[in-house]
């Protein structure tokens, strides 16, 4: 089956030496983009971007060496898509954490070159067997991935049904970093956040930079701020800007939680930082029939020396 799917995708969408289709880990169908400024890998499972690298730089996205690559489990790393709920489901805590979009197989809708050596891919998801188990609403998701000197991700949700619905969402990006204890995060100073780990509750962020010295699981609501990761060890700054997003989530599991996660190595907490472009909690989106909303995350990395 996966071979047939890959053959059909090649037939319809391949751009020789630029956009290819193959079977990645555990023979899961994957898109491979190779262009002069960058390379990028996307699994159809979860429309999951697992790898992006600007030419001359180290990979920008963290991917756990212990990640599952299984149709019933999310990939640990890259850019999981959390949709249509964030965290545990309020309807039923036994439903999959962070929704079903990251567990669904998406379809390729289009692949096209853009001026300036960029490639645009659009993947889509609609109601399916899995979604029907958890969510009655009629939806269409279009995920536009633009690969070039930067990585641009746009998740558009459309209500194609007859009733309004509300949803939460996050582009749960795992950034690869040299050492969580050394990096600085700029952009959230002075904002209010709700910490899910001790000290649990609402706090006001100290002025920038934000430094990391313990488990961090913070939801910043009502913020449109762009963030910058300053990573001296990697000689890199990563600017994360966004549109259509009122929440930002910052997460690092630190030591004990890392040990408790089966799909994450004990020491990998040192090498990743999740900055999630989101609409969660009271920032959830409501769409009336026919309405759409787009959530956009734009990632631009540069050498610190070049700034
Ligand atoms: C973060 C949540 O977004 O995702 C955390 O705020 C959660 O609470 C983390 O632990 C990872 O979730 P998962 O389901 O991918 O292990």
Residue nearest to atom 9 of ligand 1 (CA): 251
Q: For residue 31, give both structure tokens.
A: 């898109």
- Count Cα atoms within 13 angstroms, Cβ side, for 9: 25
Active-site residue numbers?
Answer: 172, 276
Residue nearest to atom 8 of ligand 1 (CA): 217
User: What distances in angstroms separate CA 92 from CA 87, 112, 128, 134, 225, one per listed residue?
Assistant: 11, 40, 19, 9, 32
- DSSP helix/strand/coil, 257: helix
* pLDDT tens track for 7-60: 999 999 999 999 999 999 999 999 999 999 999 999 999 999 999 999 999 999
* pLDDT tens track for 115-173: 999 999 999 999 999 999 999 999 999 999 999 999 999 999 999 999 999 999 999 99
Find the 205 Cα to ligand 1 centroid distance in Å.
21
Q: Is 97 in the pocket of ligand 1 (CB under 6 A)?
A: yes
Residue nearest to atom 5 of ligand 1 (CA): 217
Whether pTM > 0.85 for this model: the answer is yes
Q: Is 160 in the pocket of ligand 1 (CB under 6 A)?
A: no
Alpha carbon distance 122, 145 (integer Å): 6
Q: 159: exposed, middle or buried (C-beta count within 10 Å: 0-12, 13-18, 19+)? A: buried
At residue 101, what are phi and psi to the nearest 5 degrees?
-65, -35
Find the 86 Cα to ligand 1 centroid distance in Å.
9
Find the 87 Cα to ligand 1 centroid distance in Å.
7
């Amino acid at each position: 089956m996966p071979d047939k799917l890959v053959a059909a995708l090649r037939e319809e969408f391949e751009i020789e030496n630029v956009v290819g289709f193959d079977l990645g880990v555990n023979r899961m169908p994957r898109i491979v983009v190779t262009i002069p400024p960058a390379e990028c890998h996307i699994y159809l499972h979860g429309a999951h971007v697992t790898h992006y690298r600007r030419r001359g730089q180290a990979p920008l996205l963290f991917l756990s060496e212990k990640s599952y690559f299984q149709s019933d489990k999310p990939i640990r790393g890259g850019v999981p898509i959390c949709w249509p709920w964030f965290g545990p489901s309020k309807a039923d805590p036994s439903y999959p954490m962070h929704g079903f979009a990251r567990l669904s197989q998406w379809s390729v809708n289009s692949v096209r070159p853009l001026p300036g050596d960029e490639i645009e891919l659009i993947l889509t998801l609609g109601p399916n067997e899995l979604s029907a188990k958890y969510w009655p609403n009629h939806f269409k998701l279009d995920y536009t991935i633009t690969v070039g000197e930067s990585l641009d991700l746009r998740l558009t949700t459309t209500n194609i049904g007859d009733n309004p619905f509300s949803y939460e969402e996050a582009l749960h990006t795992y950034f690869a970093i040299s050492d969580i204890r050394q990096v600085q995060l700029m952009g959230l100073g002075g904002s209010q956040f709700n910490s899910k780990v001790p000290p649990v509750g609402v706090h006001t962020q100290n002025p920038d930079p934000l430094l990391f010295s313990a488990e961090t699981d913070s939801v910043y609501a009502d913020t449109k701020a762009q963030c910058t990761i300053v990573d001296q060890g990697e000689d890199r700054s990563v600017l994360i800007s966004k549109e259509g997003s009122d929440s930002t989530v910052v997460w690092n599991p630190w030591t004990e939680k890392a040990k408790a996660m089966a799909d994450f190595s004990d020491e990998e907490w040192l090498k990743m930082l999740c900055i999630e472009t989101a609409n969660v909690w009271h920032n959830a989106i409501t769409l009336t029939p026919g309405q759409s909303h787009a959530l956009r995350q734009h990632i631009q990395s540069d050498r610190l020396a070049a700034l």
